[in-house]
Amino acid sequence: MIELGIDECMTAIREGKMFHAAVNDGAFFVKIEEYTNFVCTAIHNGHRLRAGLVENCALSEAERLREEDPYTADIAVNMPITVVANDSRYEYDLNRPPETCVYEEAWGQVVWSEPLSDAEKATSLEKHTAFYTVLDVLYEQLESLHPQVQVFDVHSYNYRRPGMGDVPLFNIGTEQLDTQRWQADIDQWVERLGRISLPGIEVRAAINEVFYGRGYQTTFAGKRCKNTLVLPTELKKVFMDELSGEPRSDVLEVLHAEFEQAISDHVLSRSEQ
């Protein structure tokens, strides 16, 4: 893996280079092995807080980890284009717009022992902007090469909460999507996810049952990319202990293989139509 600044990363993408890089001092990773018509993102995978924020954070590591999405980068790690956030969503949330991407409170908890300074907030906002600047160039490049581009936007969610009930293993949020245009793609993705098999776990895929796809990456792509479909895909945290953060390796290993095969099958089926 190499290290690239924002401008260097954008130049490499525009020139069609293959690379695996830690970008913007490791704030996120970009891997491009081939300029395919699909991308896998894990924008809540990160746990890192920059120096100066760790001491001021009012939450323990375990409390932060509970609302982050650990292991989501592992689930599609072998796909040819992956974009993975390394910074915690508590530093800046990439699935929120710039105006609200820096938390003061989150999930009923105060995040900072002392309020962040304007300079600290500005640094976090700059990192949020840098990420989407690179993503914009990537999607623009892919759209120049392919009639349509699909983004598998992978997240995970806690389900051991009071009142959750029978929730699906996979939830696809479509509220921001042009369903008149993309409904066949959405339906095929949900159908293919529903055929995944995990040891001892009921598999069900649903649309807008728990989450509705209101995240900023979908907003951003919808406004700027005419031929890019972001599929916000939430996975129930059956592959880990959501309280301790420990992985269930037996489940995670199978999920990894099954999920990557589902992506490959879906992309192939859509290209043949």
**Does residue 272 register a pLDDT over 70?**
no
**Does residue 141 register a pLDDT over 80?**
yes
Name all domains of the chain by residue range, CATH numbers in brackets.
Answer: 2-267 (3.40.630.40)
Q: Which two tokens stand for residue 200?
A: 């001892």
The amino acid at residue 238 is: V
The DSSP line for 16-47 is T--EEEEETTTTEEEEESS--SEEEEETT---
- 0.85 surpassed by pTM: yes
pLDDT for position 163 = 78
Instruction: List, in order, residues 6 or more apart from 148 with CB less than 8 Å away.
Output: 37, 227, 228, 229, 270
Share above pLDDT 90 across residues of the chain, in percent, rounded to a whole number: 94
**Does residue 201 register a pLDDT over 70?**
yes
What are 242-268's pLDDT values in tens digits?
988 999 999 999 999 999 999 999 999
